[in-house]
Chains A and B, each alone.
Chain A
Amino acid sequence: MDSGPTLPLDELYREVVLDHSRRPRGRDPLPRVDASARGFNPVCGDEVEVRVRVEAATVAGVQVTGRGCAICTASGSLLAEVLPGRRLDQTTSTIEAFRGVMHGQAPTGEVELGDLEALSGVARFPVRVKCAMLPWVTLEDALEAWQSGGPLLVASTEREEARP
């Protein structure tokens, strides 16, 4: 058998992504949880739980747990690494910017993406976009429910499908 898997795979599983999938950050419990939600990807059964601590309208800490593929795990780990310290409005724009990258848009530079850019290769694998988005839609739900005082829902990646 020849060499091994050919190219675009390395675009998907960049070194940073593999590293975060092997040793996910943001697994430790938070001292206090303000917003939380559970998310589910019906395509593969993957599940994550996102918990957020908010202080002075700023994300003070994030915990992401669950069972997922390398892309989902790395995405959750990067989320937990990147968001602390960002104000809630910046968090919202980070979610939107990341979603844009997942749908193949070039980053505008307005939002500091940092290591999140390592996931930009996912855009070339449409089936895997949901894997990468799972922690993010779950975070969105957690924050929405918290801000509106509404009930906690189980987020689903299915809604990514209905987006333009």
Chain B
Amino acid sequence: MPGATLGVGVRGPGSGVRGDAARLDPVAVRARFPILGRRVNGHRLVYLDSAATTQKPEAVLEAIQRMYRYSNANVHRGVHTLAEEATAAYEACRQRVARFLHAPDPRGVVILRNATEALNLVARAWGARLGPGDEVIATAMEHHSNLVPWIMLTRERGVTLRHVPITDGGELDLGAYERMLSPRTRIVAVTAMSNVLGTINPVAEMAAAAHRVGAVVVVDGAQSVPHLPVGFAALGADFLAFSAHKAYGPTGVGFLVGRPELLDRMEPVSGGGEMIREVHLDRATWNDVPHRFEAGTPSIVDAAAFPAALDLLEELGMDAVRRHEEELVAYALERLRSLGFLRLHGPLDPARRGALVSFVDPEIHPHDQAQVLDGLGIAVRAGHHCAQPLMRRLGEVATTRASFGIHTDRDDVDALVDGLLATRRYFGG
């Protein structure tokens, strides 16, 4: 019975203070994910790559099936029953995301393909207001998705791009940030949580400072939204981008959540069906926000299935999710540190970081390490994690990253630690 026993006290989303949050039982949660029952290379699958994409719970898989089996139709343009059902399911996703993020107005939720598309949309549409002399501030720990669109803006519009440096402890240098802000600052782009270091950035504080100089704040929430109990308003951001596929939902759906009054002032960047009000042969008027930004047939079924993932997160409670993952990261850091041979990156304080750890064994290239771990059924990611400038700053060519989720438990961390030792033995270390 879905929803029967997750070992979690029933609480509403965001209720309860931290430390008093309900406990999450990862073993019960694991049972919700069919894929976690499979074996890889003869071993139990230990999935430690949730930061790249999360696995999908049964409820999401069922929702996808249900849509295709019973309610499949294109949205917004039909009067028949299926079209009406599909439209309702698609729009329910928008409502559900707004509710999950405590965003007051669903008009502020634009349904796109992924976080990358959302960040590109802001860079283009809001960036169109910028010109030479204007400045965009990003940080040295951004994913390429929240960096390259701004680099493109410097090429296209002569805008200056600046970067908040990071400290040796893997956090943003806030003093440098404050000094960088000026009336020329038009946009501040920052990730709420680093996908390499795990660092949780003080976005609300940074946003308040940015607003004092009249800049708008664009937050990359790809890693934070699925793992941290922070609503849109509390973040203090003007725009927030994230992907459903990293939040236990389907691939092909991402969101730009923005303040509707800002979205109203943005021109569309992609033209076609759905985004127009009236079209003549030589001119057109735009549809209202958010539809103005949703040209063409969207990923209807995947969007319709995403609420099932958010339902699961809220059933567990985001406070419980965070507590679980913070405890897990503390345990992982302690165990990995006790191995004695790893270079660990990111803040040492688990309270300041999200559910992932990046490390390097100086004797073994991350690619080889990930390969041997895969032989043991352990899925980790090795590489630059789409953050090449950060890798350079860390002085690494690549790192190995183990990232956690609601179904991860200490056994998974133990398997990783054993695997790292086995890898050393394998290469004769």
B422: A residues at CB distance < 8 A? 1, 4-5
Q: Do A44 and B375 touch (CB < 8 A)?
A: no
A4 touches B425 (CB 8 A): yes
Residues of B within 8 A of A128 (CB): 367, 371
Question: Does residue B92 face the partner (Cβ distance < 8 Å to A)?
Answer: no
CA distance A71 to B42 in the complex (A): 24
> Which B residues are CB-close (under 8 A) to A47?
397
Known: A5-B375, A6-B375, A67-B397. A22 touches B428 (CB 8 A): yes
**Given A67-B397, A70-B368, A131-B367 in contact, is the A45-B428 Cβ separation under 8 Å?**
no
Q: Any chain B CB within 8 A of the CB of A46?
A: yes
In the complex, the answer to whether A44 meets B426 with C-beta atoms within 8 Å is: no
CB within 8 Å of B: which A32-53 residues? 43-47
Residues of B within 8 A of A2 (CB): 43
Interface size on B, residues (CB 8 A): 26
B427 interfacial by beta-carbon distance below 8 Å: yes
For the complex, give the distance between the alpha carbons of A70 and B41 in Å: 21
Give the residues from 71 to 99 in chain A that come closer than 8 angstroms, CB to CB, to chain B. Answer: 71
Interface bits A118-150 vs B (CB < 8 Å: 1, else 0): 000000010010010000000000000000000
Given contacts A4-B425, A44-B366, A45-B383, contact A9 B415 (CB under 8 A): no
Task: Determine if B372 is an interface residue (Cβ-Cβ < 8 Å).
Answer: yes
| Cross-chain contact of A68 among B43, B364, B365 (Cβ < 8 A) | B365
Bound CA–CA A135/B368 (angstroms): 17
- Residues of chain A lying within 8 A (CB to CB) of residue B365: 68-70
B398 within 8 A of A: yes
Q: Of the candidates B372, B384, B415, which one forms a contact with A5 in the assembled complex, judged by CB atoms under 8 Å apart?
A: B372
Considering only CB atoms, which chain B residue lies closest to A47 in the complex? B397
Which among A18, A125, A131 is the interface contact of B428 at CB below 8 angstroms?
Answer: A18
Known contacts: A1-B418, A45-B383, A45-B384. The answer to whether A6 contacts B367 by CB under 8 A is no
Number of residues on chain A facing chain B (CB within 8 A) = 24
Task: Please give the distance in Å from B339's CB to the nearest CB on chain A.
Answer: 15
A41 to chain B, nearest CB (A): 9
B375 close to A45 (CB less than 8 A): no
Residues on A with C-beta less than 8 A from B141 are none
Q: A1-B415, A6-B375, A70-B427 are in contact. Are A45 and B398 (CB under 8 A)?
A: yes
A45 contacts B382, C-beta separation under 8 Å: no
Encoded as 1 (CB less than 8 Å from any A CB) or 0, chain B from 350 to 382 comes to 000000000000001111100110011000001
Is A44 within 8 A of B397, CB to CB? yes
Question: Distance in Å from the Cβ of B68 to the closest Cβ of chain A?
Answer: 30
Contact B397 A9 (CB under 8 A): no
- Contact call B371/A45, Cβ cutoff below 8 A: no
Nearest-neighbor residue (CB-CB) of A5 within chain B = B375
A12 within 8 Å of B by Cβ?
A: yes
Assuming the A-B contacts A1-B418, A4-B426, A70-B365, are A9 and B371 also in contact, with contact meaning beta carbons closer than 8 angstroms in the complex? yes
Quick one: which of B391-429 are within 8 Å of A by CB?
Answer: 391, 397-398, 415, 418, 422, 425-428
Q: How far is the CA of A128 from the CA of B365 in the complex (A)?
A: 13
Q: How far is the CA of A69 from the CA of B370 in the complex (A)?
A: 11
B388 CB within 8 Å of chain A? yes
Cβ A69 vs Cβ B426 within 8 A: no
Cβ-defined contact, A45 with B388, below 8 A: yes
B388 (CB) vs chain A CBs: closest residue: A45
CB distance from A40 to the nearest CB of B (A): 11
For A5, what are the chain B residues with a Cβ–Cβ distance below 8 Å? 41, 372, 375-376, 422, 426
A12 to B391, CA, bound (A): 27
Report how far A1 CA is from B421 CA in the complex, Å. 11
Give the chain B neighbours of A8 by CB distance below 8 A.
Answer: 41, 375
Is A6 within 8 A of B397, CB to CB? no
How far does the Cβ of A16 sit from chain B's closest Cβ, in whole Å? 14
Once bound together, how far apart are the Cα atoms of A8 and B418, in whole Å? 20
Q: Which residue of A lies closest to B384 (CB)?
A: A45
The answer to whether A69 touches B425, judged by C-beta atoms less than 8 angstroms apart, is no
Q: How far is the CB of A14 from chain B (nearest CB, A)?
A: 13
CB <8 Å contact, B383 and A9: no
Instruction: Report if A44-B427 is in contact (Cβ < 8 Å); known contacts: A6-B41, A70-B365, A125-B371.
Output: no
- In the complex, 23 of the A-B residue pairs with CB atoms within 8 angstroms, ordered by the A residue number, are A2-B43, A4-B426, A5-B375, A6-B42, A6-B43, A9-B371, A9-B372, A9-B426, A13-B426, A44-B366, A44-B367, A45-B384, A46-B398, A47-B397, A69-B365, A69-B366, A69-B367, A69-B368, A70-B368, A70-B427, A71-B368, A125-B371, A128-B367
Known pairs A6-B375, A44-B366; list 14 more (Cβ under 8 Å). A2-B43, A6-B42, A6-B43, A6-B376, A8-B375, A12-B371, A44-B384, A44-B398, A46-B367, A46-B398, A47-B397, A68-B365, A69-B366, A128-B367
Q: For the complex of A and B, list the 4 residue pairs with the smallest distance between their C-beta atoms, beginning with the closest.
A: A5-B375, A69-B365, A69-B367, A45-B397
